[in-house]
């Protein structure tokens, strides 16, 4: 039974009609109103507007600072967010198999939230698309969906990677890789941003990512400061690819795409100008950045750059950074990385760990041979069980705490996504083993053996792996700092990998 919203006249369906007074939120305008359901058999409905005060809102769960969250709440109310967004951004809401943890903000291409994929345990960024995304007709929606799909096939270190795309309830969403950092929309106007030619390496990273999209026939449409993200490692990523405003090269010819690609260069040139001016917006400061920006804003003409590839080559030449994997170290950068690698591998506990592991297996093997030669089959099998359970537990703990392998994730995936038949099979195997141990009289011995094995693995992690991780924190931080400095002077990810390979002697992935 529908009732009309007293503010926007939107018909709101009432699924469970019963007498009384109730409060509803309109899914169209997001404003609250009261309804009254009569006692008669017809259940007459009447609606009236109500004023919702800030103190009447249900309290949100503060994650960091109550004052900051209250400010965000006032801003959200001022922007008149709709009912769907308010429902989805509550902590604990699920979107496409991902758990929303906290709201990050809003952009022209959707609302952002920090989330976590439950099945695989990955941190992700959830982008809830605007309610009018893909309008005004079915063809526009199909085109927008195709753009989102094509964007998901493009992988580049300077592009935010697309992981999933779909619809949940009444809202379409995109799940992207988690990217901790800040946008240049606010950073460019802050006192921490120096502006000037420091903007060139930033735009160079963004141009490299955008060029990868252009080479796949995809234009962005809006490479503005709010879509440029910078993290603590000096990585710049361009977000929002394939979410409206983009253009795909089709069989109809490159004309529309060429125009969209040139528009990307023009917009990126204005972004460079904004970053170069910093807090002095409206005053074009002299420098290399302004000269490059001026030619970018007239790209596609005789006075400007031909395409984005020429922009990348020009900025790389201007900054003196090589591309294609050449050695790019300057000054003491090679010595700093070499020193960090030596400190990383020089942890005294590292060599002790190898010796202890070999010693443990050596002792177990010796006892196994002794028991087997003496004819003590149960003891020999127990030693093998001790080795197997200890090694498996230790590998599992390291995989879960350090993330060095997919073992921990695969176990989590099986636990959370296993079918009933799988669980019954495992249960049946355990029952058979339990019965066998009881019949052989080994039950209590193997229970004790399991506790000893788990205790040995835990003790090894606490006594050896934790100190090793602590010793390696400082050299890792020094290496991250060095690589961030090199990125912020324009060195590409490919050149950084080659640099690390040459200094560390490891193959390039």
Amino acid 177: pLDDT: 84
Amino acid 240: pLDDT: 79
Same domain, 164 and 227: no
Residue 61: inside a domain, yes or no?
no
Amino acid 55: pLDDT: 36
Amino acid 471: pLDDT: 87
Across 31-42, average pLDDT: 73
Residue 172: inside a domain, yes or no?
yes
Same domain, 310 and 161: no
What is the C-alpha to C-alpha distance for residues 508 and 497, in angstroms, rounded to an integer? 6
What domain range includes position 9?
2-52
Residue 17: inside a domain, yes or no?
yes
pLDDT higher than 80, residue 357: yes
Q: Give the chain's mean pLDDT.
A: 75
pLDDT higher than 50, residue 167: yes
Q: How confident is residue 82, by pLDDT bands cut at 50, 70 and 90?
A: very low
What is the C-alpha to C-alpha distance for residues 305 and 323, in angstroms, rounded to an integer? 19
Q: How confident is residue 103, by pLDDT bands cut at 50, 70 and 90?
A: confident
Across 357-380, average pLDDT: 89
Is pTM beyond 0.95? Reply is no
Contact 272, 203 (CB under 8 A): yes
**DSSP secondary structure letters along 111-125:** EEEEEEETTT--EEE
Alpha-carbon distances, residue 177 vs 73, 406, 410 (angstroms): 26, 18, 19
Across 10-25, average pLDDT: 72
* Residues in Cβ contact with 347 at an 8 Å cutoff, skipping those fewer than 6 apart: 467, 468, 471, 472
Residue 332: inside a domain, yes or no?
no
Q: Where are the alpha helices (DSSP H) in 108-171?
A: 138-152
pLDDT higher than 90, residue 121: no
DSSP H or E segment with residue 33: strand 32-37
Residue 509: inside a domain, yes or no?
no
- Residues 483-506 pLDDT 10s: 999 998 888 888 888 888 888 765
Residue 331: inside a domain, yes or no?
no
Same domain, 196 and 165: no
Alpha-carbon distances, residue 210 vs 151, 281, 339, 415 (angstroms): 11, 25, 35, 40
Same domain, 362 and 244: no
**Number of structural domains in the chain:** 4
Same domain, 454 and 347: yes
Alpha-carbon distances, residue 29 vs 12, 167, 171, 303 (angstroms): 11, 21, 15, 48
Same domain, 45 and 76: no
What is the C-alpha to C-alpha distance for residues 26 and 23, in angstroms, rounded to an integer? 10
Q: Kindly report the CATH number assigned to the domain that includes residue 214.
A: 1.10.510.10
Same domain, 344 and 492: yes
Residue 400: inside a domain, yes or no?
yes
Nearest CA to 454 out of 385, 351, 369 is that of: 385
How many C-beta atoms lie closer than 10 Å to residue 314's C-beta? Answer: 18
Amino acid 58: pLDDT: 38
How many C-beta atoms lie closer than 10 Å to residue 4's C-beta? Answer: 14
């Amino acid at each position: 039974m529908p009732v009309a919203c007293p503010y926007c006249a939107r018909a709101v369906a009432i699924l469970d009609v019963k007498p009384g007074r109730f409060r509803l939120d309109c899914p169209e305008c997001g404003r609250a109103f009261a309804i009254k359901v009569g006692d008669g058999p017809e259940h007459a409905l009447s609606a009236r507007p109500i004023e919702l005060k800030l103190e009447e809102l249900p309290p949100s769960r503060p994650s960091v600072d109550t004052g900051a969250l209250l400010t965000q709440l006032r801003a959200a109310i001022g922007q008149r967010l709709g009912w769907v967004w308010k429902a989805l951004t509550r902590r604990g809401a699920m979107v496409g198999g991902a758990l929303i943890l906290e709201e990050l903000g809003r952009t022209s291409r959707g609302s952002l939230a920090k989330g976590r994929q439950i099945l695989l345990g990955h941190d992700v960024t959830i982008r809830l698309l605007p309610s009018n995304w893909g309008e005004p007709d079915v063809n526009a929606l199909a085109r927008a969906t195709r753009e989102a799909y094509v964007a998901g096939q493009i992988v580049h270190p300077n592009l935010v990677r697309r992981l999933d795309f779909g619809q949940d309830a009444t809202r379409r969403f995109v799940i992207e890789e988690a990217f901790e950092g800040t946008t240049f929309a606010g950073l460019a106007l802050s006192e921490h941003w120096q502006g000037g030619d420091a903007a060139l390496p930033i735009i160079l990273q963004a141009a490299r990512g955008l060029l990868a999209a252009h080479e796949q026939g995809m234009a962005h449409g809006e490479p503005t400061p709010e879509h440029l993200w910078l993290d603590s490692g000096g990585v710049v990523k361009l977000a929002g690819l394939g979410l409206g405003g983009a253009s795909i090269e089709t069989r109809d010819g490159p004309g529309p795409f060429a125009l969209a690609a040139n528009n990307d260069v023009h917009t990126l040139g204005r972004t460079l100008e904004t970053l170069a001016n910093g807090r002095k917006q409206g005053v074009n400061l002299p420098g290399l950045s302004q000269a490059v920006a001026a030619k970018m804003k007239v790209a596609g003409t005789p006075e400007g750059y031909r395409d984005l590839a020429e922009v990348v080559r020009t900025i790389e030449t201007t900054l003196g950074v090589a591309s294609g994997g050449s050695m790019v170290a300057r000054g003491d950068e090679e010595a700093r990385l070499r020193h960090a690698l030596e400190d990383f591998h020089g942890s005294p506990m590292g060599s002790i760990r190898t010796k202890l592991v070999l010693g443990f297996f050596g002792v177990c093997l010796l006892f196994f041979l002794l028991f087997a030669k003496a004819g003590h089959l149960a003891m020999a099998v127990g030693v093998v069980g001790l080795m197997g359970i200890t090694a498996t537990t230790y590998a599992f703990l390291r995989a879960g705490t350090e993330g060095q392998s997919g073992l921990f994730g695969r176990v989590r995936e099986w636990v959370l996504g296993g079918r009933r038949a799988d669980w019954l099979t495992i249960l049946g195997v355990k029952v058979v083993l339990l019965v066998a141990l009881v019949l052989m009289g080994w039950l209590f011995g193997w229970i004790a053996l399991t506790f000893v094995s788990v205790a040995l693995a835990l003790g090894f992690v606490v006594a050896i792996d934790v100190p090793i991780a602590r010793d390696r924190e400082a050299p890792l931080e020094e290496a991250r700092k060095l690589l961030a400095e090199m990125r912020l002077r324009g060195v590409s990810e490919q050149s950084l990998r080659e640099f690390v390979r040459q200094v560390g002697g490891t193959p390039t992935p």
